[in-house]
């Protein structure tokens, strides 16, 4: 675990809750932040700190290639984790849904407390798996 000065900021409340409960660690936080940035860039073409003028953006072709690569990574992650895990990532990270909101949607026929616990555990597991997918993707693409 890294010290607080080196820790990546957590902007998604559900990820913050999982981290504070010690259900996930720094690696999962980094993976969730990366997935969120890539998902938004792939789907909306928006990056953090996006420049305001077209002249500052640089080569449009390089920008489109980068966006395509992000989209390909999101698709590969979806294929590796499966649709159910991908939907949980979207609900938790892209839509910013709370555990209670996800619980009502995923488990409408059981008590909210029990459904919330199930969703929370599933989200922690998915973030752990996401960390391993990113590691695997990096190792498979690195030159040997």
What average pLDDT does range 50-79 have in this prediction?
79
Per DSSP, the three-state class of 111 is: coil
Alpha helix ranges (H) inside the chain: 13-20, 26-44, 54-57, 60-81, 83-89, 99-106, 112-141
Residues 6+ apart with CB under 8 A from 110: 118
The predicted structure's pLDDT at residue 143: 59
List phi, psi (to 5°) of 22.
Answer: 60, 30
CB 118 within 8 A of CB 14: no
User: Does pLDDT of 27 surpass 80?
Assistant: yes
State pTM to two decimals.
0.84
């Amino acid at each position: 675990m890294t010290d607080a000065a080196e820790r990546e900021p957590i902007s998604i409340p559900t990820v913050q809750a999982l981290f504070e409960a010690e259900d996930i660690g720094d690696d999962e936080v980094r993976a969730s932040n990366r997935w969120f940035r890539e998902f938004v860039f792939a789907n909306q073409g928006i990056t953090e700190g996006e420049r305001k003028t077209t002249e500052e953006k640089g080569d449009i072709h390089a920008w489109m290639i980068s966006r395509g690569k992000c989209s390909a990574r999101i698709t590969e992650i979806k294929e590796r984790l499966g649709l159910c895990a991908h939907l949980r990532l979207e609900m938790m990270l892209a839509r910013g849904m709370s555990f209670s909101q996800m619980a009502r949607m995923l488990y409408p026929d059981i008590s909210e407390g029990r459904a919330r616990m199930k969703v929370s555990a599933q989200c922690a597991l998915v973030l752990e798996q996401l960390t391993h997918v990113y590691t695997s993707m990096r190792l498979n693409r690195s030159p040997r």
